[in-house]
Amino acid sequence: MINRTIEVGTGVHVKVPATTANLGPGFDTLGLALAYYDELDVTVREEPGVHVDVHGVGEGQVPTDERNLVVRAIKHAFDAYGIEMPGLDIVARNHIPHGRGMGSSGAAIVAGIMAAKGLLEGNVEMDAQAVLTLATQMEGHPDNVAPAIFGGLTIAWVTPEGPRSKKLIVHRGVSPVVFVPEHTMSTALARSLQPESVPHEDAIFNVSRSALLVAALIQSPELLLEATEDKLHQSYRASAMPETDQLIRALRDAGYAAVVSGAGPSILLLCDEPQQRLEATALVEREALTPWQSLMLAVDFKGATVVPHPVGVLA
């Protein structure tokens, strides 16, 4: 491990968007960045070790030392280049809900790696592909980390040489809404409900709908209802989140393109007219048995950013 000195007081500010993966039929492949952000200020200190000051989501709950996911991501990036991680003071301002299918773990991983990228500038040139590779190594799959890094709509896949991603620009007529419940859902539990194999006709169904969904999101939003149909994962997970399933059925029966957001239990609604967001929110308020928060969001087109602080200054 190389002990390469990074000047005390060197700091960076990182901003990472929430994401929603799968989008119905695009299981483990399609992802969308949302204009809802976690932010991070990281400063090199003289003393060894790490301290994390968490504000907002996770405050008083997530670890504030080396066990913190952001810290583990920073260390993962430093280790990948054989450089010893310095002592760090970290201030995290979190807005992305945890355990709700909005990519909170992916955002934390990307935030940490982007922070490392900024701190290592001048010592290591970490390009976007390196960020994607490091983030996927930690997350296990690229469908959430890709849109968090690049913004917009992303198609992600894995090759023998590593993960790959293609960013597409979403049609300006697409208006996302995320309905967020008070209860959480374990991604590991959601994945455990998936069967090892699926019927041939279901696989064909999802291939057609995934292709149609890309066209709907970038060119023809009026096709979103049909394009978000799925037979690979949502029905298998329905028993673990019955209210999510019930609300999605009610929304789709009313003509809205509603799907499970990521592993759930949040619901993603893709509208092709702004008025639909208000109408769908009213429907959820009528039908829901428990409180749900409605987040009317834009698509984030920029992805994760990192900018330096002047030495010795924490923004």
Q: At 309, phi and psi to the nearest 5?
A: -95, 150
- CA 82 to the chain's CA centroid: 28
Is residue 208 a known part of a binding site? no
Alpha helix segments (H runs only) across the chain = 69-80, 104-119, 128-139, 145-150, 187-192, 200-218, 224-227, 234-237, 242-253, 274-287
Q: Which residue has the tokens 């090892």?
A: 196
Two tokens, residue 266: 């949040």
Is residue 92 a known part of a binding site? no
**Amino acid letter for position 306:** V
Is residue 112 a known part of a binding site? no
**Amino acid letter for position 149:** I
Is residue 98 a known part of a binding site? yes
Is residue 9 a known part of a binding site? no
Is residue 122 a known part of a binding site? no
Is residue 262 a known part of a binding site? no
Q: Which residue has the tokens 């009313």?
A: 254
Contact 77, 112 (CB under 8 A): yes
- In whole angstroms, what is the distance from residue 9 CA to residue 107 CA? 25
**Amino acid letter for position 40:** L
Contact 268, 175 (CB under 8 A): no
Q: Which residue has the tokens 């987040």?
A: 295
Is residue 107 a known part of a binding site? yes
Contact 155, 30 (CB under 8 A): yes
Is residue 152 a known part of a binding site? no
Two tokens, residue 102: 């909005």
- In whole angstroms, what is the distance from residue 128 CA to residue 198 CA? 34
- Of the chain, the end-to-end C-alpha distance in Å amounts to 31
**Which residues line the annotated binding site?**
97-107
**Which residues line the annotated binding site for ATP?**
97-107
